[in-house]
Structure 1
Amino acid sequence: MNIKHYEIEIERENPFANCKLGRKKYSSVLTKIVNSYPYGFVLALNNKWGTGKTTFVKMWEQDLKNNHYQTLYFNAWENDFEDNPLTALMGELKSITTKETEPEFKKTLRKASTMTKHIAPIIVKAIADRYIDTEGVREAIVGVTKGLTDVFENEVDEYQKKKKSISEFRQSLSEFIASTNKGKPLIFIVDELDRCRPNYAVSILEQIKHFFSVSNIVFILSIDKIQLGNAVKGVYGNADLDADEYLRRFIDIEYSIPEPEEDIFYNYLYEYFKFDDYFGSSERSRYTGVERDKSNFLETCRLLFTNAQIPLRQQEKIFAHTRLALRSFSWGAHVVPEIFLFLTFIKIRHDDFYRKMKSKSLSIKEFQERFLGVIKIEINEETDSQLLWLEVYLVNVYNNSLKGTYYGTPLIIRDDITSERKLNVVSIIKKDADHEFISILDHINRGRGPGGLDLTYFTRRIDLLEDIRT
C-alpha cells in the first residue's frame, strides 16, 4: 500500500500514457505555438504551486524530443546554490554539445567569459574615504597617479567593451544553437523559478532577457506568477512595485494549463492509494451498514475537491494521510467516511479550525459557520441534501464532545406543553429544515449506528495516536 504519491513514470515512447488529467491536448497546443514562432521567445506556463506543472513540462519535454526537438530541462530551485545563473545556464548548454559542435560552444564560452569580467578594480578615492582612515592605504588602493578623469575614461572604455562582448556572445550563442538542431529551436525549460531565492530568480530572468534573447532558443518558464511577483517585490524592496508589469518585460506569451475535469483526479487517487483494500475487502463486507462507505467517501471528495480549487499536491497529501489513518480502523469499525475525510481535510487545510474543534472552544453555531466557510460550495437543490447530512453528522459528533462543557447542550429538546420534539440548533445549510435534521439524527442514532461517536474517536486516528494494522 502506498503512503505517499510518487512521481508519475513518463514513458519514453508515450510520455502522456500515465497522465491522469487529460493534458496531452495542451502539449499539442503549445508545440504548435513553438512551431508558429520558431525564431525565439519566452513562454510562461503560469499555474499555482501544486497543480502538476513539473509533471506536465517533463511529459511535454519528452513529447518534444520524440518530435525531434532538442530540449534542456533546468530546475532553478535545485541549482540556486550557484551565485551566477549564467554559469548554470551555460553548464546546461554544454550538455548538448557534440564532437562536431564543441568548437562552436567553446567559442561561445569564451565570449561569455569576456562578457562577465568585472570592470577593473579601480576605486575612486572619494569612495575609499568613506571606509578607510589610513591615508597610505587609501592611496595604495586608488593608485596614486590615477585621477578622477582617468577613472571616468576607463569606465567609459569598459562600458563599450562590455556592450560589444554581450553582442558578440549573443551572436556566437545563436550560431552555436543553429549548429546543433537542424533548423529547429532549442526548447529550454526553466522549472521551479518561483521557489528560488528571490535574487537568484530575478537574476535568471535578467540574464535570459539580456544575454539569451536570441533566435533559435525558446524559453519555457514554469512559474506561479503571483509568487514570482512577490519575489520581485522583495528583491527591489518595494511592496508597491507593479510586479505584473515588470514580468511582462521578460514574458512574450503566457499560458495557463486548465484545471482538470471534475472527478478525474480524486478518483485516480482513490485507486492509487488502494482504498478498496479496506472499503471493498472481504473482511469488511461481513459487517452490515458499510455498503455505502465507498460511495459516501467519493461523494464527499466531490464536495471538498471540485469546488475550492484545492491544489493537486494538497489533494495527494490529504489522500495519503487519510489512507494511513484508515489503517487504525478495525474491519468492523464505524468509519463514517464523510466525517473521517472532512476532519482529515481540515487538519491539513485549516489547522486552526481543527485545533479549535479539538479544544472544544467553539460553540455549535461557531462550528457551523466555520464548516460553511470550509466547504466553499454553492448550495442548491443538487447539493443541499448531501451537505445537510454532512452537517448533521459533524454537529452530532462535535456536540457529543461538548457534553459536560460550557457549550454542551442537547440537540433535540421536548416542548414542556406539547411534548413535541424540537431542534435546539438551526441548520446553516438548509433553513427551515428542522424536520429533516431531526430525521437524520434519528437515523444515525438508531440501533448500533455511529450516533454515539465523539470527535476524539476520529481525531486520535487522524493524529495517528492509535495502533495501525500491519
Structure 2
Amino acid sequence: MKLAIDHHVTRVNQESDYIFGRREFAQNLKNIFTNTTGGFVLAIDATWGEGKTSFIHQLIHDLKDTEGLIPIYYDAFSNDFSSDTFLSIGATIAHEVELHFDKIGKQSRTKTQIDHLKSVTKSTALELVKLGTNLGLKSLTAGLIQSSDLEKIASNAFTSATFGTLALDLNEKYKAYENARSNINSYIKTLESISNNNEKVIFFIDELDRCRPNFAVEVLEKVKHLFPAKNVIFVISYNKSQLSKIISNVYGASPDDSLKYLEKFIHIEANLPIADSEQATNSYGKLFDSFMGEFEIVVNYDEIKLHQLKEMFILLCSSNSLKMNSREIERAFSYISFCFAALSQDKGVELFEYFLPAAMIKVKNRSLFEQLKSGKFNSFGGDNNTKWMYEFFKKYYYHTLKLEASNIYYVKGFKEACDIVSMFKLPTDDE
C-alpha cells in the first residue's frame, strides 16, 4: 500500500481516454497545433484541482504519435529552484528535441543542428548572465554547462559585471546588451533551424501558479521576449485569477492592471471544459478504479459490494453532494491509505466503507465532518447544503443504523472511521 502518490504521475490512458469529456477539446487543440503556422502562446485556464495536469499529460501522450509535433512538458514548480529561467527552459527544449529525433531514428540527421542549439543556448545564457538578468545558473541544464564552468563564470563575471551591485562603465553595459541581443537573435534562428520538415515544438508550461512569484513572472517574460520562434508553440496551464494575484504581489499592481499585464503574454486563452452529468459520472468511476490501484488499496470485496462502494463514491463526488474535483479526491484517498496503514488488514477492510465518506467529507467540508464525526445524524436533515446526508446514511448504512432518539440515528462504524481519520492531517489541509 502506498501512503501517497506523485500527482504528476497522472491517469494517462493508452487509449486516449480523456476524463470529464475533454476528448473533443483535445482534438481541437491538436488541429490548431497542426494547422497553424508561426509560434504563439495559448493559455488553458482552470481552477485548482480541475484536472489541468492530467489533461495536459494525456494530450502530450497523444501528440507524441502525431507526425511533425514535438510535445514537451515543463513543470514550473519543480524548476523554480533555479534563478535562470532562460537556461531552464532552453536546456529542456534542447534535451527533449534531441530525445524526440533519437526516438524516431533521425538523430544523426539533426545532430549538427541540435549540437548548435545546445551551444547557442549556452552562449546566450552566459551573455544574459553578464547583462545581470540571470544570476543563478545552478539549474538542470541537460549537460549544457558543467559545474566547473558555473563556478568559473561566477568568480570571473559576477564580481565585475553585475549591474545590480556594481557600477560598470557605460561602454561595457552597451557591449553586454549588444552581445545579449545578438545571441538571442542567433538562438531564435537556431531553434527554428531544427525543423527540417516543419516540425513544431509544443512546449507545455504547467504549475505556473504554484511556483515562486518572481520565477512565475520571469517565465512569462522569457517566453514572450526570448522564444518567439516560428516553430515553437507555448501552452501555459494556469489558474488565471491566482496568477494575476501573484503578478500583483510582484509588481504592486492593482488586480485590473495585473490582468492586463498577464494578457500581454497570451495570444489566445481557452477554459478547460466542464463535464456534463453523464460524463462526470463515468469519469468519477474511472478515478475510483485508478486511485484504488495507485494507492494499492486491496479490500477483497465481491463484485456487488465493490460496485455499491463505487456508486457511493460517485454520489459523494457529484454536484448534488460534495462536488469534489480530482485533486480533492486524491487527498481523500491519501487519508484512506494512512488509515489502512494504521490498522490490521482485516480491520481496514471492515471500515473501508466508512473511511471512504469520512475522508471525502473531511477534505471537502470540514464543518460538516465535525458535525458528523460522532457517528450521529438527524433524520430531519440540515440546511439545503447538507440535508442530502440523511438520505445518504439511510441508503448505504441501513444495516447498521441504530435509533438513539426519535430523529437521531447512530452509525458505529462511521464514528470509528472518523476517529482514525481525525488522527491525521495532510500538509495541504490549510490551503
**CA 1:161–1:30: 2 relative to 1, 3 Å:** farther
Among 410, 415, 418, the alignment partner of 1:456 is: 415
1:119–1:158 CA contact under 8 A, matched in 2 = no
User: What secondary structure sits across from 2:385 in the alignment?
Assistant: helix
- The answer on 1:114 being equivalent to 2:127 is yes
Corresponding residue for residue 302 of structure 1? 315
- The answer on 1:61 being equivalent to 2:60 is yes
**CA 1:16–1:43: 2 relative to 1, 3 Å:** farther
- Work out the CA distance in 2 between the residues paired with 1:78 and 1:318: 24
1:55 to partner: Cα distance: 2.9
2:247–2:258 CA contact under 8 A, matched in 1 = yes
**CA 1:207–1:354: 2 relative to 1, 3 Å:** same
Corresponding residue for residue 87 of structure 2? 87
- Work out the CA distance in 1 between the residues paired with 2:313 and 2:63: 39
1:23 to partner: Cα distance: 3.7
- Work out the CA distance in 1 between the residues paired with 2:389 and 2:182: 66
Unaligned runs of 5+ in 2: 99-109, 134-158, 160-166, 425-431
- The answer on 1:255 being equivalent to 2:270 is yes
- Could you list the per-position Cα deviations for residues 211-237 of structure 1 after superposition, in whole angstroms to 9, with x for gaps in the alignment? 222322211112222222222122123
Corresponding residue for residue 391 of structure 2? 389
User: What secondary structure sits across from 1:99 in the alignment?
Assistant: helix
User: What secondary structure sits across from 2:203 in the alignment?
Assistant: strand
1:5 to partner: Cα distance: 5.8
CA RMSD of aligned residues (A): 4.4
- Work out the CA distance in 2 between the residues paired with 1:192 and 1:250: 17
Corresponding residue for residue 268 of structure 1? 286
1:302 to partner: Cα distance: 2.4
- Work out the CA distance in 2 between the residues paired with 1:41 and 1:209: 9
2:43–2:270 CA contact under 8 A, matched in 1 = yes
TM-score by length of 2: 0.68
**CA 1:240–1:316: 2 relative to 1, 3 Å:** closer
- Could you list the per-position Cα deviations for residues 138-183 of structure 1 after superposition, in whole angstroms to 9, with x for gaps in the alignment? xxx9xxxxxxxxx89x54x566545544543343122212221222
- Work out the CA distance in 2 between the residues paired with 1:265 and 1:226: 26
1:3 to partner: Cα distance: 6.2
- Work out the CA distance in 2 between the residues paired with 1:280 and 1:373: 33
1:232–1:243 CA contact under 8 A, matched in 2 = yes
- Work out the CA distance in 2 between the residues paired with 1:191 and 1:297: 31
Give the number of equivalent residue pairs: 363
Q: Percent identity over the alignment? A: 23
User: What secondary structure sits across from 1:72 in the alignment?
Assistant: strand
2:358–2:414 CA contact under 8 A, matched in 1 = no
- Work out the CA distance in 2 between the residues paired with 1:57 and 1:178: 24
User: What secondary structure sits across from 2:74 in the alignment?
Assistant: strand
- Work out the CA distance in 2 between the residues paired with 1:82 and 1:459: 42
1:325 to partner: Cα distance: 5.1
1:411 to partner: Cα distance: 2.8
1:43–1:252 CA contact under 8 A, matched in 2 = yes
- The answer on 1:189 being equivalent to 2:204 is yes
2:94–2:117 CA contact under 8 A, matched in 1 = no
1:189–1:219 CA contact under 8 A, matched in 2 = yes
Corresponding residue for residue 189 of structure 2? 175
- Work out the CA distance in 2 between the residues paired with 1:389 and 1:276: 28
**CA 1:251–1:365: 2 relative to 1, 3 Å:** farther
- Work out the CA distance in 2 between the residues paired with 1:460 and 1:302: 23
Q: Which amino acid aligns with 1:76?
A: A
Q: Which amino acid aligns with 2:289?
A: E
**CA 1:196–1:240: 2 relative to 1, 3 Å:** same
Indicate the larger mover: 294-303 or 99-108.
294-303
Corresponding residue for residue 99 of structure 1? 111
Corresponding residue for residue 45 of structure 2? 46
Unaligned runs of 5+ in 1: 121-140, 142-150, 282-290, 376-385, 404-409, 413-440, 446-450, 466-470
2:206–2:237 CA contact under 8 A, matched in 1 = yes
Q: Which amino acid aligns with 1:201?
A: A
1:461 to partner: Cα distance: 4.9
Indicate the larger mover: 264-273 or 238-247.
238-247
1:38–1:184 CA contact under 8 A, matched in 2 = no
- Work out the CA distance in 1 between the residues paired with 2:184 and 2:243: 26
**CA 1:167–1:314: 2 relative to 1, 3 Å:** same
Corresponding residue for residue 366 of structure 2? 351
- Work out the CA distance in 1 between the residues paired with 2:313 and 2:89: 46
1:243 to partner: Cα distance: 2.6
Larger RCO (alpha carbons 8 Å, 6+ apart): 2
1:368–1:395 CA contact under 8 A, matched in 2 = no
User: What secondary structure sits across from 2:44 in the alignment?
Assistant: strand
TM-score by length of 1: 0.63
2:207–2:237 CA contact under 8 A, matched in 1 = yes
- Could you list the per-position Cα deviations for residues 178-197 of structure 1 after superposition, in whole angstroms to 9, with x for gaps in the alignment? 22122233222222111111
Q: Which amino acid aligns with 1:168?
A: S
Q: Which amino acid aligns with 1:411?
A: S
Aligned ranges 1:423-442 → 2 under 5 Å: none
Corresponding residue for residue 411 of structure 1? 406
User: What secondary structure sits across from 1:195 in the alignment?
Assistant: coil
Corresponding residue for residue 28 of structure 1? 27
- Work out the CA distance in 1 between the residues paired with 2:128 and 2:355: 61
**CA 1:196–1:63: 2 relative to 1, 3 Å:** same
- Could you list the per-position Cα deviations for residues 351-397 of structure 1 after superposition, in whole angstroms to 9, with x for gaps in the alignment? 3442355489x99699823xx4358xxxxxxxxxx76523768999x
